[in-house]
Homo-oligomer: A and B are copies of this chain.
Amino acid sequence: MSWLKSWRKQAAPLRKLRGRDEQSESTKVALEKLAPPITHFLGLVAYLQLEVFEAASRAVAAAPTLEAKETLSTAAGLALDKHQAFTEEMRRRGLEPFQVMQPFTPIIDDYIERIESDDWLEGVLNVYLVAGLFDAFFSELAGGVRDPYAEVAREVLDGTTGREEVAALLAQQIEADPRIGDRLALWGRRIVGDSLLVARSALVLSENKSQDDESIEPVFSELIATHIRRMDGLGLTA
Taking beta carbons and an 8 Å cutoff, which residues of A are in contact with B? 50, 53-54, 57-58, 60-61, 65-67, 69-70, 73-74, 76-77, 80-81, 83-84, 87, 97-98, 101-102, 105
Contacts and interface: CB of A to CB of B under 8 A. Distances in A.
A61 B58 CA distance: 9
A70 B57 contact: no
A76 B66 contact: no
A184 to B, nearest CB: 23
How many copies of the polypeptide does the oligomer hold? 2
Nearest to A98: B66
A73 B66 CA distance: 22
A74 B58 CA distance: 17
B83 A80 contact: no
Contacts of A80: 73, 76-77, 80
Contact of A77 (B60, B74, B84, B102): B84
B66 A57 contact: no
B77 A73 contact: no
Contacts of A81: 77
A33 to B, nearest CB: 30
A74 B77 CA distance: 10
Contacts of A98: 65-67, 69-70
30 contacts: A50-B60, A50-B73, A53-B60, A53-B73, A54-B57, A54-B60, A54-B61, A57-B57, A57-B58, A57-B60, A57-B76, A65-B98, A66-B98, A66-B101, A66-B102, A66-B105, A67-B98, A69-B98, A70-B87, A70-B97, A70-B98, A73-B80, A73-B83, A74-B84, A76-B80, A77-B77, A77-B80, A77-B81, A77-B84, A80-B80
